[in-house]
């Protein structure tokens, strides 16, 4: 049931697009290539157990947690906006 200018299935299409964006963002964050023995941010040694557990690891735990926190503050922005916000 579409209303206004939205076509049939528009809501589901927006949900699907949001999910696809999240998947693409998560895949882009996956590390590639060989891991490092020292953190690229602070140069602290990365323990062997972490290098085995996280292939391609590039940061120590503390720096990775900080990077994850920074990314969370920037996540969640809806680029598409709602129809109501576009009409105002």
Each residue's pLDDT tens digit, 57-82: 999 999 999 998 887 776 555 555 65
User: pLDDT higher for 5 or 27?
Assistant: 27
By the 8 A CB rule, do 63 and 42 touch? Answer: yes
Note the pTM of the prediction, 2 decimals: 0.53
User: pLDDT higher for 33 or 2?
Assistant: 33
- Please report the pLDDT score of residue 20 as a whole number: 94
- Please report the pLDDT score of residue 36 as a whole number: 93
Number of helices (H), then strands (E), in the chain: 4, 0
Residue 51's pLDDT band, with cuts at 50, 70 and 90, is very high
By the 8 A CB rule, do 35 and 58 touch? Answer: yes
């Amino acid at each position: 049931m579409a209303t206004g200018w939205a076509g049939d299935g528009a809501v589901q299409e927006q949900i699907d697009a949001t999910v696809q964006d999240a998947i693409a963002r998560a895949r882009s964050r996956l590390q590639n290539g060989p891991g490092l023995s020292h953190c690229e941010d602070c140069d602290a040694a990365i323990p062997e157990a972490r290098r085995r557990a996280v292939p391609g690891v590039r940061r120590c735990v503390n720096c990775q947690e900080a990077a994850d926190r920074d990314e969370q503050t920037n996540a969640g922005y809806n680029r598409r906006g709602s129809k109501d916000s576009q009409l105002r």
